[in-house]
Amino acid sequence: MPIFDRAHTDDLLTFLAASPTPYHAVANAAARLEAAGFRQLRQSAGWERAGGGGFYVIRGAALIAWYAPENTKPHTGFRVVGAHTDSPNLRVKPLPDTGSAGFRQVAVELYGGPLLNSWLDRDLGLAGRLVLRGGEAALVHVDRALMRVPQLAIHLDRGVNDTGLLLDKQQHLTPAWGLGPVEDGALIEFAAKEAGVPTGDVLGFDLMLHDVTPPTYLGRDLEMIAGPRMDNLVSVHAGVQALIAAAAGAAGPLSAVPVLAAFDHEETGSESDTGAGGPLLGNVLTRVTQAQLGGGADDYARALAGTVVMSSDMSHAVHPNYPERHEPGHRPRLNGGPALKTNVNQRYATDGLGRAIWTDVCERAGIPTQYFVGKNSLPCGTTIGPITAAKLGVTTFDVGITSLSMHSARELGGADDPFLLASAAAAFFGG
């Protein structure tokens, strides 16, 4: 088993703090790839003269990156690590300025399936992108206590601790960010100033709220980590680091082209132009085979026949306070290594072949693994694995490090597991 690399987890916490939105996560991933010698390709440009090396494509809040040296044969298959950049949160509505009872508030819409109570009484910042005239985008990141969703005092809800907290999604989650009368246009004017762009140039926006408490180590022995957006930026970070390592260590012809696919909109079903259900990954892989490597349609079909996808998304550890919610024969824990996720009803894509590939990866990397399967009486979640498998017709398996409090504003994981996941991804890229 590899020695726990604290530097990797330190770097992950930095990445989490710097990536309050999917757009920031993609920008930060791209900056790391650029520093490692990768080059950005535009979807609208020809790729015939791209040459060999490391490349990436950005579309919205999705990123596809790969490494294909000059001598790569066009029918070479792909080893794809798939992840997603988005997390459940509160997102700003098109007309954001609202208020009541002397408070200035911001109208928000729920994105994905957040644990609603986890957003109460937290200091919240504002981040996202502003779309400017001409189609360019400016990122904004206000990482200070700007907003808050205040909970009702217990004196006005005496039974809350006995009957449970019930939140109306429309009425009870509107954050306050000031006092006084409502000022139309105030929020976007503020965001534009923070981004350093003229308010009049902002024609569109994708803004969202985030908890400004930094991610941190937790526990007497610092054996856990707590932070926002671990689902699924832990996997994005691991994939970036593994791809950079694969490119740095490549020597001679590749048995498979390593690819990182970081999609958006997984939390809402993946059906978008930047989601796993869209054509983005297939289009990129086709162009790598046919334009960059000079192959044809038959070469691409051969490449897909030799392609394997490792879908990486967070998994569940057994909760110490709710052990009855978990399958009794499979007890994944924090710091036990990445878990292979299975569901025979195709909520996860793993089958016997995928399990064999994953077992070989873990043996070569010298890392432990464990297994997650849902309890029969409780339906499990899903991820990009089955969608990618069906979209491309390729062997796919689902893995993820274990966690508690998934979809909370702050999640809990093991401090060793991110490095173990990155080590597995690097071994997977290696063949």
| Per-residue pLDDT band at 156 (split at 50, 70, 90) | very high
Of the chain, the percentage scoring pLDDT greater than 70 comes to 98
Domain that holds residue 404: 6-87+228-429
Q: Per the structure block, which two tokens stand in for 314?
A: 């967070």
- For residues 304 and 167, membership in a common domain is answered with no
The answer to whether residue 404 sits within a structural domain is yes
**Given a cut of 50, is residue 294 above it in pLDDT?**
yes
Q: What is the CATH number of the domain that holds 109?
A: 2.30.250.10
| Per-residue pLDDT band at 286 (split at 50, 70, 90) | very high
> What DSSP letter does each residue of 169-211 carry, written as one string?
TTTS---EEEESS--TTHHHHHHHHHHTS-GGGEEEEEEEEEE
Q: What is the pLDDT of residue 4?
A: 59
Give the Cα separation of 191 and 185 in Å (integer). Answer: 10
Q: What is the pLDDT of residue 253?
A: 73
The answer to whether residue 220 sits within a structural domain is no
Give the Cα separation of 72 and 66 in Å (integer). Answer: 12
Domain count, the chain: 2
| Per-residue pLDDT band at 6 (split at 50, 70, 90) | confident
User: Distance from CA of residue 371 to its chain's centroid?
Assistant: 21
Q: Per the structure block, which two tokens stand in for 425?
A: 């991804």
The Cβ of residue 366 has, within 10 Å, a number of other Cβ atoms equal to: 12
Q: What is the pLDDT of residue 49?
A: 85
**Given a cut of 50, is residue 334 above it in pLDDT?**
yes
Per-residue pLDDT of 173-210, as tens digits, reads: 999 999 999 999 999 999 999 999 999 999 999 999 99
Residue 218: strand pairing partners:
224
**Given a cut of 60, is residue 70 above it in pLDDT?**
yes
Give the Cα separation of 273 and 262 in Å (integer). Answer: 13
**Given a cut of 90, is residue 420 above it in pLDDT?**
yes
- For residues 310 and 235, membership in a common domain is answered with yes
- For residues 153 and 56, membership in a common domain is answered with no
| Per-residue pLDDT band at 269 (split at 50, 70, 90) | very high
Q: Per the structure block, which two tokens stand in for 4?
A: 């726990």
- For residues 77 and 14, membership in a common domain is answered with yes
Give the Cα separation of 74 and 96 in Å (integer). Answer: 50
Mean pLDDT of 125-152: 97
- For residues 187 and 295, membership in a common domain is answered with no
Mean pLDDT of 247-252: 82
Query: 213, 236, 265 — which closes off a domain?
Result: 213
| Per-residue pLDDT band at 254 (split at 50, 70, 90) | confident
- For residues 52 and 94, membership in a common domain is answered with no
Comparing CA positions, the residue from 296, 338, 294, 299 lying closest to residue 316 is 338
The answer to whether residue 293 sits within a structural domain is yes
| Per-residue pLDDT band at 90 (split at 50, 70, 90) | very high
Mean pLDDT of 232-256: 92
The Cβ of residue 71 has, within 10 Å, a number of other Cβ atoms equal to: 10
Query: 187, 213, 239 — which closes off a domain?
Result: 213
- For residues 46 and 141, membership in a common domain is answered with no
- For residues 161 and 285, membership in a common domain is answered with no
Give the Cα separation of 235 and 216 in Å (integer). Answer: 17
Q: What is the pLDDT of residue 2?
A: 45
Strands 308-312 and 176-179: unpaired
- For residues 305 and 399, membership in a common domain is answered with yes
Q: What is the pLDDT of residue 405?
A: 98
Average pLDDT, the chain: 96
- For residues 72 and 146, membership in a common domain is answered with no
- For residues 246 and 326, membership in a common domain is answered with yes
Which H or E element spans position 125? strand 124-132
Residues in CB range of 419: below 8 A, 6 or more apart:
2, 4, 5, 8, 9
Query: 154, 180, 213 — which closes off a domain?
Result: 213
